[in-house]
Amino acid sequence: MRTIAVPRVSNPVPLVGNTSGTAWERSEPIEIDQFLWTTPEDRPQTAVRALYDEEAFYLHYTVTDRHSYATTTTLNGPVWEDSCVEFFATPRPRVRKAYLNFEVNCVGAYHLGYGPDRGNRALVERETAANIEVQASIDGPKKCPQNADDEWWVAAKLPFGVLSDLTGVTISPSSETRWRGNFYRLRSHPEPLYAAWNRIDTVEPNFHRPSEFGELTFL
């Protein structure tokens, strides 16, 4: 099982592409490098950083992608059909085994749910989602592949208040708090690609595998 340390910061966390000289430098990037279920010709690089403060959990993905693609523009739409990155986590593993799934495409459209399994998900409501912040390097609302495609980034601020409302349990990590979780990358065009941080051993594609999550330790 892989592990990642999530540093606590006091300085503002900007949702920008260039992380140099910002709070993001406190977080070591980890690679989403476990390619699963298909054998793509290329194995593009995906790196993610994670931070937290008193208010929120922060994610920053940098994605190499020569075929950036997005058609989903609505909240809680099927962003997994696009060029997409994801974060799944069980934030209170000793209280509830249910897990969060945050999925965001290359233009910043996202899906946020919570539940015990793949078929039983409660989705964040629009009024609550207004408190989530997401920035992406590609302007939407949609994206078609272009010859100039090279890479993109997306950064998100997930307030603990939003996560607590969605899950029904208080989420307020502190030093030595441990979550179980996994980071993912996927696309459906021009060929399917699936990648994970912590490896998943199933025959069919399925990221909804909390038993195969890694571990996040909050500092």
Q: pLDDT, tens digit, for every residue of 169-207?
A: 999 999 999 999 999 999 988 889 999 999 999 999 999
Between vectors from CA 153 to CA 68 and to CA 156, what angle results, nearest 5°? 125
The string of pLDDT tens digits covering residues 117-127 is 999 999 999 99
How confident is the model at residue 114, as a pLDDT? 98
Domain boundaries of the chain, sorted by first residue: 3-7+28-218
pTM of the complete model? 0.97
The string of pLDDT tens digits covering residues 46-93 is 999 999 999 999 999 999 999 999 999 999 999 999 999 999 999 988
> What residues form DSSP beta bridges with 35?
195
The string of pLDDT tens digits covering residues 22-43 is 999 999 999 999 999 998 878 9
Mean pLDDT across the chain, nearest whole number? 96
The string of pLDDT tens digits covering residues 150-171 is 999 999 999 999 999 999 999 9
Q: In the CATH scheme, what architecture does the domain 3-7+28-218 have? A: Sandwich (2.60)
Mean pLDDT of 98-108: 98
* For residue 190, cis peptide bond before it (omega within 30 degrees of 0): yes
Eight-class DSSP state of 71? -
Three-state secondary structure call for residue 21: coil
- The one-letter code for the residue type at 108 is G
Task: Name the pLDDT band for 135 (thresholds 50, 70, 90).
Answer: very high
Contact 163, 171 (CB under 8 A): yes
Checking DSSP bridges between strand 214-218 and strand 193-196, what pairing results, if any?
A: unpaired
C-alpha distance from residue 69 to each of 59, 84, 138 (Å): 21, 9, 10
Look up residue 82 and give its two tokens: 């696009």
Rounded to whole angstroms, the Cα distance separating 38 from 35 reads 8
How many percent of the chain have pLDDT more than 90? 91
Of all helices (H) and strands (E), which one includes residue 154? Answer: strand 151-159
Task: Name the pLDDT band for 19 (thresholds 50, 70, 90).
Answer: very high
How confident is the model at residue 121, as a pLDDT? 97
